[in-house]
Amino acid sequence: MLEAPFDPVKLAVPFFILAILLEIGLGRLRLAKAEYEARDTLASLAMGLLRGVPALLTAGLVFAATVWAWEHRVFTVPFTAWWGWVAIFFLEDLTYYAFHRLSHERRFWWAAHVNHHSSQHYNLSTALRQTWTGSLVGTWILWLPLAFLGFSPAQIFIQQGISLVYQFWIHTEAVGRMPAWFEAVFNTPSHHRVHHARNPRYLDRNYAGILIIWDKLFGTFQAELDAEKPRYGLIRNLGSFNILTVAFHEWIDIGRDLASARSLREVRGYLFGPPGWSPDGSRDTSKSLRARWAARQAAASTPAE
């Protein structure tokens, strides 16, 4: 099957809107923790509303590549087979983990993803602060193996949508912790608050889409600690609500860095090094921030002589 019979994201849009309104209402009534700032929320909503426009530039290419891969498939997974949906649930989620990790750990892809993390608030509207340049940086290639395996383009599209819809509700402070068994297996508001936090302890952790098991398996899991409240946003937060700044600021920074590069090594580092990479190591990366934090922790726990 080439064309999906339904789009989970489109179907969920009314739910998104109602849930945001409910969260705002509960926050105002102090019945739940929900902090909204009008301009921040508007920026998030605008990023979400307009995300489809740049994606149109590559939609044809992505679809054609996926169809081509499917036409050269190794197996055929029937669209209606229950086991096919079980298999794609796990495989797509693993693919999402890889995509998400790459999107944080290498600057070229971080530049497309950073806008999702640029709010200092953490509420349901933050979930809609979606990328405008994500489809241009080629990460859709990561999903092609699913088509080669035999999952139809429609099935891949639907499962991607299901994952995106699932990830909406975890962008909230209104939900504390889910039951222990759920927290152990699934990505939850608590786990994802850690992911959006800029505290050094929490940096580059919890890349999960639906299942948190991948982070536990690959060593990137960090539980939310009651003693360390997440502080949201970026290492150096944006000083603007302008959506063009939100969408393109890291690309502009990359352009400036490339203009100052003096060697191929520097070009490679600025483009594909970790975010914050610099030739002389003078800028902060997640790794250096975590290392300094760990050193401070160690010093604080060492008794003075």
Partner 1 sequence: MRSLLGDDFPGAQIDRIWLAGDGSAALARSGARALYLFRLGDSWVVRDLAWTEAAGAPVRDGRLHLRLPGVSPRLARPVLAGWPPEPA
Collapsing DSSP states into helix, strand and coil, what is residue 197? Answer: strand
| Terminal C-alpha separation, the chain | 71
By the rule CB under 8 A, 167 interacts with partner 1: no
By the rule CB under 8 A, 239 interacts with partner 1: yes
User: Which listed residue (100, 116, 121, 205) binds partner 1 by CB under 8 A?
Assistant: 121
β-strand partners of 197: 232
In sign, the C-alpha dihedral spanning 105, 107, 108, 110 is positive
3-state helix, strand, coil in the chain (%, to 5): 60, 0, 35
- Nearer Cβ to partner 1, position 2 or 244? 244
- Nearer Cβ to partner 1, position 28 or 231? 231
Residue 298, classified by CB atoms within 10 Å of its CB into exposed (0-12), middle (13-18) or buried (19+), is exposed
User: Which listed residue (233, 269, 274, 279) binds partner 1 by CB under 8 A?
Assistant: 233
Instruction: Please count the residues of the chain.
Output: 305
By the rule CB under 8 A, 28 interacts with partner 1: no
Tell me the closest approach of the beta carbon of residue 79 to partner 1, in angstroms. Answer: 45
User: How many amino acids of this chain bind partner 1 (CB under 8 A)?
Assistant: 23
HSE (side-chain half, CA atoms, 13 Å) at 181 = 0
User: Which listed residue (240, 265, 267, 268) binds partner 1 by CB under 8 A?
Assistant: 240
- Nearer Cβ to partner 1, position 37 or 266? 37
By the rule CB under 8 A, 33 interacts with partner 1: no
Span of 35-43, 55-63, 83-91, 265-273 interacting with partner 1 by CB under 8 A: 35-43
By the rule CB under 8 A, 238 interacts with partner 1: yes
How many CB atoms sit inside 10 A of residue 85's CB? 16
User: CA-to-CA distance for 203 and 205, rounded, in angstroms?
Assistant: 6
By the rule CB under 8 A, 242 interacts with partner 1: yes
User: CA-to-CA distance for 133 and 279, rounded, in angstroms?
Assistant: 26
By the rule CB under 8 A, 249 interacts with partner 1: yes
Nearest C-alpha neighbor of 198 from the set 243, 231, 165: 231
In whole angstroms, how far apart are CA 31 and each of 27, 175, 192? Answer: 6, 11, 21
- Nearer Cβ to partner 1, position 20 or 156? 20
Q: Residues 293, 281: contact at Cβ < 8 Å? A: no
User: Which listed residue (23, 40, 105, 173) binds partner 1 by CB under 8 A?
Assistant: 40
By the rule CB under 8 A, 231 interacts with partner 1: yes
Span of 8-16, 31-39, 172-180, 269-277 interacting with partner 1 by CB under 8 A: 31-39
Span of 46-54, 77-85, 215-223, 242-250 interacting with partner 1 by CB under 8 A: 242-250
User: Which region, left, alpha or beta, applies to residue 20 given φ > 0 means left and ψ of -120 to 50 means alpha?
Assistant: alpha
By the rule CB under 8 A, 296 interacts with partner 1: yes
By the rule CB under 8 A, 268 interacts with partner 1: no
By the rule CB under 8 A, 229 interacts with partner 1: no
User: Residues interacting with partner 1, by CB under 8 A?
Assistant: 35, 37-40, 120-121, 231, 233, 236-242, 245, 249, 252-253, 292-293, 296
